[in-house]
Each structure stands twice: as structure tokens, then as C-alpha cells.
Amino acid sequence: MNTVSTVKRYEVAGMKCYVCAKAGKDTEAVGICIVCGMGLCMEHAIREDTQVWEGGYPFPATKTKGKIPRILCEECRTALKR
């Protein structure tokens, strides 16, 4: 058996978009929400620059000066904007 056959034999299904699955669609996820971990397709993934906090547990102490790009779902994006 060659390497390609072996790889295909053990291939498993990838993660699906949670929002699409709730609507009865079968769409591959391309990213994961950094806040809740929901799998998201290109239609539902939102790339947003978010504030980063630094500090110790249990509460962050200060905001950093810059923002970094993150993948978010709509629910978490809305919650972070409040």
C-alpha cells in the first residue's frame, strides 16, 4: 500500500460550521471563534482587531497599546462591543 492510500484511509471529517449546522447546511469550518470555540465557515467568521489585556490571574490589569486580529462569531463580537 502506498503512502497516499494510507493517508486517505485514515482521513476523518473536518470541523463543520456550527451556525450552518443549526440551519441544516453542511459547511466546512475555516476558523474557530477565539472566545467560545465555535467552528465557523467563511460566511460566519468575522476577522476583527481586538484589544489585548495583560496582567495576572484572575483579572487582567491593563490594556495593551495595540490590538491584534482575531476570529470571532457574531455573538461574541457583539458581547465584546458592549
pLDDT tens-place string over residues 32-78: 999 999 999 999 999 999 888 777 777 767 878 888 899 999 999 99
Q: Residue 80: which pLDDT band, with cuts at 50, 70 and 90?
A: confident
For residues 74 and 68, give the distance between their C-alpha atoms in angstroms, rounded to a whole number: 18
Total number of domains in the chain: 1
In a domain, 46, yes or no: yes
Residue range of the domain that includes 47: 13-81
Q: Residue 69 has which C-alpha cell?
A: 486580529
In a domain, 6, yes or no: no
In a domain, 5, yes or no: no
Residue that is written with C-alpha cell 467560545 in the block: 36
In a domain, 1, yes or no: no
Please give the pLDDT value at position 12: 62
